[in-house]
Amino acid sequence: MKKLRGIVGTGVGAMAWLWMAAASARVEDLPGGPRVNQLNLHEGVTTISKSLWQLNWMIMIVCTIIFIGVFGIMFYSIIMHRKSRKHVVSKLHEHTALEVTWTVIPFLIIVGMAVPATRTVVAMKDTSNPDMTVKVTGYQWKWGYDYVDGPAAGVHFLSNLSTPLAQIDGLEPKDNAYLLEVDHPLVVPVNKKIRVIVTADDVIHSWSVPDFGVKQDAIPGFLRDTWFRAEKIGTYRGQCSELCGKNHAYMPIVVKVVSDADYLKWAQREKGSTVASAAGSGTGASQ
């Protein structure tokens, strides 16, 4: 019986391993989104995201060195100074140089980490002198975008999840952008400082795009702002990062960064469709 259970357990384990291997083989890196087996932060396409990436590595290295040093000394002391080695405990009282050393060194380490971290946080909050401003409103469970100024001033639209329901229900194979695609993405020009004013209409949401180094909570009744300047043309993806109800997982964010010329064409097209829809609504109301 034990042998049978062992054979069955081995078979189930092998099948699970093969299923995981097959599933991972079908998954590919998503440009502007997560990578397969990604453990590190996104290096990103903005100065802020690159600073966050560098800070993460710097602090991780410092913490690793401290970890190795502290535990190395601890295990060395336990092994080399154990009772079985007849080690005689030294009597150390009020060693001023030692006390100053173990106070000053941690202080310098903290300052060394705090200075670049503070510089990055201050830069993240500096929304002055933007090239354009976009208002983002979180709804259950979609995003609303209002262009406040610039060529697309007055443009407003809602951005909804566009992943087919058949994929969500498991009736069709999931594509690479599963739950990370929308019907109407935010479009911005490259190398422009974009101020993003964030709020919410119902509950707390969070507008987050890792490749921009942006994560700003959207709170009903409050206007909060952040900014980014994308340095590379492309499509970048994020998600609502604040639990906001049963469809929280269905609030993706897609931002298309385009050239200045393409942005002007898009703005003219969107403004034209806005005028046309407004005229159609007026005609319908008059009838």
pLDDT of residue 12: 47
Residue 222 corresponds to which tokens in the numbers above?
Answer: 């409050």
DSSP string, 248-272: GGG-EEEEEEE-HHHHHHHHHHHHH
Give the alpha-carbon dihedral of 64, 69, 70, 71, to 10 degrees. 80
User: pLDDT tens digits, the chain, 287 residues: what are they?
Assistant: 445 445 545 554 555 454 444 444 456 777 777 777 877 888 899 999 999 999 999 999 999 999 999 999 999 988 888 878 877 777 777 778 888 888 999 999 999 999 999 999 999 999 999 999 999 999 999 999 999 999 999 999 999 999 988 888 888 888 888 899 999 999 999 999 999 999 999 999 999 999 999 999 999 999 999 999 999 999 999 999 999 999 999 999 999 999 999 999 999 999 887 655 555 555 554 45
Question: What fold characterizes domain 47-125?
Answer: Helix Hairpins (1.10.287)
251, two tokens? 């609030």
Superfamily of domain 132-275: Cupredoxins -  blue copper proteins (2.60.40.420)
**Domain spans of the chain?**
47-125, 132-275
**Cα 172 to Cα 28, 168, 178, 211, 223, distances in angstroms:** 17, 8, 11, 29, 40
Provide the pLDDT for residue 8.
42
Q: Which of 174, 132, 140 is nearest to 158 (CA)?
A: 140
Q: What is the pLDDT of residue 50?
A: 94
User: Across-strand partners of 215?
Assistant: 208
User: What pLDDT, on the 0 to 100 scale, is given for residue 3?
Assistant: 53
The predicted pLDDT at position 236 comes to 95
Structure tokens of 100?
């100053």
The pair of structure tokens assigned to 54 is: 């560098």
Beta carbons within 10 angstroms of residue 12's beta carbon: 10
Rg over alpha carbons for the chain, rounded to the nearest Å, is: 27
In order of 44, 153, 210, 287, the CA distances from 136 in angstroms are 21, 14, 17, 34
**C-alpha–C-alpha distance, residues 138 and 202, integer Å:** 8
| pLDDT value for 22 | 43
164 is written with which tokens? Answer: 């087919």
Q: Which two tokens stand for residue 110?
A: 């903290």
